[in-house]
Amino acid sequence: MVAGRGRAPSADGSEACEGGCTCRAVRYRMESSPLIVHGCHCRWCQRETGSAFATNALIETDRLTLLGEAPECVDTPSASGRGQAIFRCPSCRVAVWSRYGGFEPVRFVRVGTLDDPDRYPPGIHIYTSSKQPWVRLPEGVPAVTEYYDAKQVWSPESLARRAVYAAALRNT
Ligand SMILES: [Zn+2]
Ligand SMILES: [Zn+2]
C-alpha cells in the first residue's frame, strides 16, 4: 500500500468508507466494498480481540488508502504457523488490519474500526466449532465449522476481483 495513492473513489462515493484507530492518528479509506466479510470464531481471534469473534472485511491491499499515519506491523503467531502481521496504530496500538501468511494482495480490515461498522455484517461465519455458546448466528448467513472454498461462497463480482490479483501474483 502506498500512502495517498489508492484508486479514486467511485463517482458517487457510495462504496468508499473510512475508518481508523481510537486516537485518530491512523486513518484510512476502503475504496470499494470488501470482497467478503468474515465473522471468525476461532480461538485465536477470540484471544486477539478479547471478544467472542473477529469481524474482518477482506479487501485488496491496493484498495486501501492511508489518510493519516502508517500503522505499525506487528508479527504475531497464527494457527496456520505462517504468521499473521497485525497492523496497529503506533500511538494507541489499536489494530486496524491484518495480513495473513505473508499474502500481500489482501488485507483483513477490522470492521469495528470503520466509522460505519454497521454497514458490513459478516457474509459468512467461520470456525464455528469454537464459537462461544451464547453467540446465536443469524439465519440465512452461511456458517462453517472451519474454513471454506471461496468459489462456493463469494459473489461472482468478488471472484472476478480475486482472479485479477491472482493473475497479478503469477506475473511477479
Ligand atoms: Zn491511534
Ligand atoms: Zn480467527
What ligand is nearest to the CA atom of residue 42? 2
- Domain count across the chain: 1
**Residue owning grid cell 466449532:** 129
**Residue owning grid cell 462453517:** 144
Paired residues of 119 in beta bridges: none
Asked whether residue 10 is assigned to any structural domain, the reply reads no
Which three three-digit cell numbers place residue 58? 477482506
Residue 7, pLDDT > 50, answer no
- Taking the C-alpha atoms of residue 145 and residue 9, their distance in angstroms, rounded to an integer, is 36
For the entire predicted model, the pTM comes to: 0.90
Ligand 2 centre from 19 Cα, in Å?
Answer: 21
- Between residues 147 and 4, the one the model is more confident about: 147
Asked whether residue 70 is assigned to any structural domain, the reply reads yes
**H helices, E strands: number in the chain:** 3, 10
DSSP code of 143? Answer: B
Least confident of 24-28, 90-94, 134-138, 166-170: 166-170
pLDDT at 36: 98
- Taking the C-alpha atoms of residue 65 and residue 147, their distance in angstroms, rounded to an integer, is 28
Q: What is the mean pLDDT of the chain?
A: 92
pLDDT in tens, 134-150: 999 999 999 999 999 99
**Residue owning grid cell 481471534:** 45
Asked whether residue 126 is assigned to any structural domain, the reply reads yes
Residue 8, pLDDT > 60, answer no
Asked whether residue 122 is assigned to any structural domain, the reply reads yes
* 32 confidence band (pLDDT: 50, 70, 90): very high
Residue 3, pLDDT > 50, answer no
CATH of residue 102: 3.90.1590.10
Ligand 2 centre from 38 Cα, in Å?
Answer: 9
The HSE-up count of residue 25 (CA atoms within 13 Å, CB side) is: 13
Asked whether residue 29 is assigned to any structural domain, the reply reads yes
Ligand 2 centre from 159 Cα, in Å?
Answer: 22
Asked whether residue 8 is assigned to any structural domain, the reply reads no
Ligand 1 centre from 24 Cα, in Å?
Answer: 5
Q: Give the range of the structural domain holding residue 33, as residue numbers without chain letter.
A: 17-133+140-170
Residue 6, pLDDT > 60, answer no
- Between residues 21 and 10, the one the model is more confident about: 21
Asked whether residue 76 is assigned to any structural domain, the reply reads yes
- Taking the C-alpha atoms of residue 7 and residue 161, their distance in angstroms, rounded to an integer, is 14
Asked whether residue 6 is assigned to any structural domain, the reply reads no
Residue 101, pLDDT > 60, answer yes
3-state DSSP assignment of residue 66:
strand
- C-alpha closest to that of 113 among 132, 98, 130: 98
Ligand 2 centre from 147 Cα, in Å?
Answer: 10
Residue 4, pLDDT > 80, answer no
